[in-house]
């Protein structure tokens, strides 16, 4: 027989234990709910991130570290940067000489050179999109130099490097610059920019260093060129005549190289037939 006092004490104790169990169950349930909500939020964040477009590489597939093309580019860029105190044209020529001496097998491999050019095309596009047009102009000149080298030394489709093309890229207008890279990438990243600049007239560079025009720039469609060497362009006949004394020596040499090259091509084609 249990007294009423003891019975009430047991009842209160049982009640506390019951409340404690309910509280523990509630806490566990709340913790579990918070954990589920956290997992759901993390999942939503991952889905959101995965749905965002990744930064476009404009057709360039990065080289593995240590790949010969990676080493080629590192040497090129190191040499170029070390020569950056000079003119960009001289820096480009020095960098080209460095990789020619160290990695001639890359320069004579068309597939590798395609990848190298893709790297610079991607870089120039990125520079334009980041409004660093001066850097993009230098990158465009690098591409021209490489393409000229391949044409002369590898494919043998022309007699010599046309430095005029490099000069025109260094001072190129926005229309010329954007069009240059737009046709070299596989994406549409420059389409909007091209629409903005396509009304700008494409400009060329007068070979006369004393040309009275600002920076020697002239509308490309109105330019004249030396018919003897086909390597020097002018804004007018006056500039062509004014530059003749300085151009005469290089003109003769270039014309002779062109004639010799064209004769070799004719002989080669004749032998093939």
Look at residues 228, 167, 165, 172 and name the one whose alpha carbon lies nearest to residue 203.
172
Q: E strands along the chain, which residues? A: 203-205, 217-219, 224-225, 233-234
Mean pLDDT of 226-238: 92
Does the pLDDT value for residue 106 go beyond 90?
yes
**pLDDT score recorded for residue 48:** 40
Q: How high does pLDDT run on average in the chain?
A: 83
β-sheet bridge partners, residue 224: 234
pLDDT over threshold 70, residue 78: yes
If phi over 0 gives left and psi between -120 and 50 gives alpha, with beta otherwise, what is residue 158?
Answer: beta
Average pLDDT over residues 134-152: 92
pLDDT tens track for 2-56:
444 454 455 556 555 555 554 555 565 556 666 655 555 554 444 443 444 458 9
205 vs 209: CA distance, rounded Å: 10
pTM exceeds cut of 0.85: no
3-state secondary structure of 12: helix
Residue 24 has a CB neighbour count (10 Å cut-off) of: 10
Mean pLDDT in residue range 219-225: 91
Place of tokens 């020095």: 94
pLDDT in tens, 48-64: 434 444 589 999 999 88
More confident residue, 187 or 55: 187
């Amino acid at each position: 027989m249990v007294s009423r006092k003891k019975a009430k004490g047991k009842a209160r104790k049982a009640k506390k234990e019951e409340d404690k169990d309910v509280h523990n169950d509630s806490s566990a349930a709340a913790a579990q709910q918070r954990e589920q909500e956290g997992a759901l939020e993390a999942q939503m964040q991952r889905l959101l991130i995965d749905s965002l477009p990744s930064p476009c590489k404009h057709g360039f597939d990065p080289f593995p570290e240590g790949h010969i093309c990676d080493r080629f580019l590192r040497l090129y860029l190191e040499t170029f940067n070390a020569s950056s105190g000079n003119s960009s044209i001289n820096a480009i020529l020095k960098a080209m000489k460095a990789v020619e001496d160290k990695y001639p097998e890359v320069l004579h491999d068309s597939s590798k050179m395609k990848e190298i050019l893709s790297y610079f095309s991607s870089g120039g596009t990125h520079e334009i999109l980041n409004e660093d047009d001066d850097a993009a102009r230098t990158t465009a000149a690098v591409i021209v130099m490489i393409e000229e080298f391949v044409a002369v030394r590898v494919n043998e489709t022309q007699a010599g490097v046309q430095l005029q093309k490099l000069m025109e890229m260094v001072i190129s207008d926005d229309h010329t610059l954007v069009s240059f890279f737009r046709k070299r990438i596989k994406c549409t990243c420059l389409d909007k920019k091209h629409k903005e600049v396509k009304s700008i007239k494409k400009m060329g560079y007068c070979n006369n260093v004393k040309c009275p025009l600002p920076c020697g720039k002239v509308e490309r469609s109105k330019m004249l060129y030396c018919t003897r060497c086909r390597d020097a362009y002018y804004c007018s006949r006056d500039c062509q005549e004014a530059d003749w004394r300085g151009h005469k020596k290089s003109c003769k040499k270039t014309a002779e190289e062109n004639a010799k090259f064209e004769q070799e091509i004719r002989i080669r084609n004749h032998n093939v037939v």
